[in-house]
Amino acid sequence: MNHIDWKNVDNLIEMALQEDVGSGDVTTGSIIPKGQMGKAQITAKKPTVVAGLFLVERILRRLDPTITVTCNVSDGKKVNTGSVLCRMEGPYDVLLTGERTVLNFLQRLCGVATLSHRFARAVRHTRCKVLDTRKTTPGFRSLEKYAVRCAGAHNHRIGLYDAILIKENHIAAAGSIPKAIKKSRKAHPDLPVEVEVRNMEEMVLAVEYGADIVLLDNMNLGQISKGVQLVGDRVTLEVSGGVTLSRVRQIAETGVHRVSVGALTHSAPSADLSMLILPTNS
């Protein structure tokens, strides 16, 4: 679980609980005697790739530190409909009050992992790696990028600070690709430099002036194949723009090194999970 910003995660949990619970769970408080003990479990209602199970305990223990959580599967595991992901034990009122917050976090991360797994599986017969982007839910970046890794896909840069990615607007502001690369190298000689290009001429220029990674943006299969033929393995070639699940296999088979897919995080549907209170004799 490297790269997870734990301080930020705890702040997110605190905000989520405050948003949902507010001054108190009036329904549960009216019905359930405080301190009455019980059990519950979270179940997958559809096939799902699991990610973020550690959050169940982390959230519930914000409400009551005596809660215990037993996980039946590990993050990264693909489970079938009806699979029990984990069981929780503790006061019924705490389990019920924390239910929605737990599911909101878990369904989001499992959804990202499930979609990422589909993309990674589609290109597994090639050398191509599937990467995420910075198109993440505000505040959830480290968690969503963790879910991507759980599924066998990979992380692109974490933020604006850990790699240089020169895009069209940077080039326009700098005056040219060579100028942008030169300034970047001078300012941060220790960071990899990636350049986004729109055509073969820009690609050749980026390679000539020392880019480590060249990003072929919104190109068709013919252009991508030509780029691979021209550059080979002199630099890492990446493709972005229009990389759908139905198209990613063909892109990977051109021989590119990697594809970046914003949809892994910005368009992943939430996983279908449920939390049910168990009978007292279970």
Catalytic residues: 100, 135, 167, 196, 217
Amino acid at 1: M
The whole-angstrom separation of Cα 268 and Cα 282 is: 35
Helix 6-21 vs helix 92-122: angle between axes, to the nearest 10 degrees? 130
Amino acid at 34: K
Q: Are 49 and 151 in contact (CB under 8 A)?
A: yes
Distances (CA, A) of 100 to 42, 85, 95, 120, 218: 12, 16, 10, 30, 39
Q: Nearest-CA neighbor of 86 among 74, 72, 106, 99?
A: 72
The whole-angstrom separation of Cα 273 and Cα 238 is: 35
Return the HEC string of 209-224: CCCCEEEEECCCHHHH
